[in-house]
Amino acid sequence: MKNVSHLNCSDIKFVFTDIDDTITHHGKLPKESYEALWNLHERGFIVVPITGRPAGWCEMIARFWPVYAVIGENGAFYFKYDGKMKRVFQQTQAQIKLNRKKLDSLQKEILKKVKGSAISSDQFCRIFDLAIDFCEDVKPLSQDKIQKIVELFENRGAVAKVSSIHVNGWFGKFDKLSMCHKFMKKEFNLDIKKDNSNCIFVGDSPNDEPMFEFFKNSIAVKNIENFLRQLKHKPQFITDYESAKGFSQVSSLLCKK
């Protein structure tokens, strides 16, 4: 990995970024991160947060943050607000209803078999997935217990991804990267493979690995160092600082171009 100061910013137009522990710090969105988002917005960058957080949060983010759109629940949808809310889903309402029944059953099994785990506090405003809290509002679980949660999801045929705070599980063939493709095609009629050099992605954890692999200009904030042994595909660049300060460093570099 190279230091982010070596990033060639000249062609960058699209800024995709994770939220938790990438632009937040200890669960808060600090002043410096919000200023960084505004600076990017005012300089004309297309900023799109990509998160495992729920639809309810994304409704607020799309309306109130200085972003073009937000991709939520690990690629299940994107919301865009420009005076009217636009919602693009990866599944039909019938599919969502069927999958929710299966997730409700999984929820009971996981809580019974993995002691100390809990449903995320934001589960009530999720549409597509089930989020199991392993350190946000509960005493941190061991890696063995986190892996057990993943296995319980996968044994039922669900996709499971580990973030810095939750294990998110869902049914269906979608993820953050596939929604990036769909977003770029629907909103700008661009092929993200061909226009890869015009994008950056900023992340912090193992569930960002497909993004680190795909984007030529993939960046991790410094706290990725906690997970490097788990990554087969590492980001191209790393910041000098963790979390919010790291994201602010990226914003400053882009705004100087």
List, in order of start, the domains of the chain with CATH numbers.
Answer: 2-90+174-255 (3.40.50.1000), 93-170 (3.90.1070.10)
- Cα separation of 15 and 251, whole Å? 9
Decide the pairing of beta strands 118-119 and 130-133.
antiparallel
Q: State how far the Cα of 44 lies from the Cα of 39, in Å rounded to an integer.
A: 9
Tens of pLDDT, residues 108-165: 999 999 999 999 999 999 999 999 999 999 999 999 999 999 999 999 999 999 888 9
What pLDDT, in 10s, does the model give residues 13-70? 999 999 999 999 999 999 999 999 999 999 999 999 999 999 999 999 999 999 999 9
Confidence of residue 213 (pLDDT cuts 50, 70, 90): very high
Average pLDDT over residues 73-96: 97
- With 0-12 CB in 10 A as exposed, 13-18 as middle and 19+ as buried, what is 39? middle
DSSP notation for 68-88: S-EEETTTTEEEEESSSEEEE
φ and ψ at residue 195, rounded to 5 degrees: -105, 25
The answer to whether residue 206 scores a pLDDT higher than 90 is: no
Residue 138: the pLDDT is 97
CA dihedral sign, ordered 60, 64, 65, 67: positive
* Placement of tokens 């493709």 in the chain: 181
Percent of the chain with pLDDT over 90: 95
Predicted confidence at residue 163, as pLDDT, reads: 86
pLDDT confidence bin for 253, thresholds 50/70/90: very high
Q: What is the CA radius of gyration of the chain?
A: 18
Rounded Cα distance between 9 and 189, Å, is: 22
Output the six-digit token pair for 174. 């979608």
Token digits of residue 39: 């600076």
pLDDT at 242 over 80: yes
Look at residue 56 in the predicted model and tell me its pLDDT: 97
Helix (H/G/I), strand (E/B), else coil: 204: coil
- Provide the whole-model pTM: 0.93
pLDDT of residue 207: 85
* Residues 160, 167 contacting (CB under 8 angstroms): yes
Q: Which two tokens stand for residue 243?
A: 């979390």
The pLDDT value recorded for residue 167 is 95
pLDDT in tens, 166-198: 999 999 999 999 999 999 999 999 999 999 999
